Amino acid sequence: MTKGYFRLKKRCDGQWMFNLHAGNGEVIATSEGYASRRNAERGIASVQANGSTTKKIVDEN
C-alpha cells in the first residue's frame, strides 16, 4: 500500500499552498493560501501531527 504525500507549491498570486494526495495520487485535501513557504510547511506539520503518517514532496512551480 502506497502512503499519501504532500505537494507544496507557490500559487500564481504569490501565496504558498499544499495538497494532500492519497497513495493513488488523488487529491484528498487542499490548504488555504499562506503568505510564506515556512507557514505552509507549518500547516503541513499540523496535518501530520493531527492525522496519519505521510511524507512530504516539494514541487515548486
User: Comparing 41 with 1, which gets the higher pLDDT?
Assistant: 41
Architecture of the domain defined by 5-58: 2-Layer Sandwich (3.30)
pTM, 2 dp = 0.78
Q: Give, in degrees to the nearest 5, the angle at Cα 26 between 25 and 30.
A: 115
Q: Where in the chain are the domains?
A: 5-58
Q: Are 52 and 2 in contact (CB under 8 A)?
A: no
User: DSSP secondary-structure letter at 11?
Assistant: -
How confident is the model over 37-51, as pLDDT tens digits? 999 999 999 998 887
pLDDT in the model for residue 57: 56
